[in-house]
Amino acid sequence: MTLTEVQEKAQKMGITLNSKGKIELMHEIQQKEGYTPCFGRSQRKCLSTDCCWKQDCLETNLIPALFIFEVTA
């Protein structure tokens, strides 16, 4: 979904746009729809079957990879 499409959906739901970015608007839309604002935070694992953002979400990862370092003494 493009930014313009997300903005249109947000406006229809009564969400003010101000200078919010696409993902911030998506999170607000998710909350308004009764979902957890989890877009891009699923680490490519999602149990939701009816979320309209699912495909985009699985392709987006907002959580940086965790690096595990082995400490030797």
Helix (H, G, I), strand (E, B) or coil at 58: helix
Tokens at 9, concatenated: 């959906």
Give pTM, 2 decimals.
0.74
Q: Domain coordinates of the chain in residue numbers? A: 3-58
pLDDT at 67 over 50: no
Averaged pLDDT of the chain: 81
> Is residue 40 within 8 Å of 51, Cβ to Cβ?
no
Q: Is 66's pLDDT higher than 70?
A: no
- CA 71 → CA 28, 66, 68, distances in Å? 41, 16, 9
Residue 45, Cα to own-chain centre: how many angstroms?
A: 13
Q: What gap in Å lies between CA 69 and CA 53, rounded to an integer?
A: 34
pLDDT at residue 9 in the model: 94
The answer on pLDDT for 29 being more than 60 is: yes
Regarding predicted confidence, which is higher, 4 or 73? 4
Give the mean model confidence (pLDDT) for residues 20-49.
85
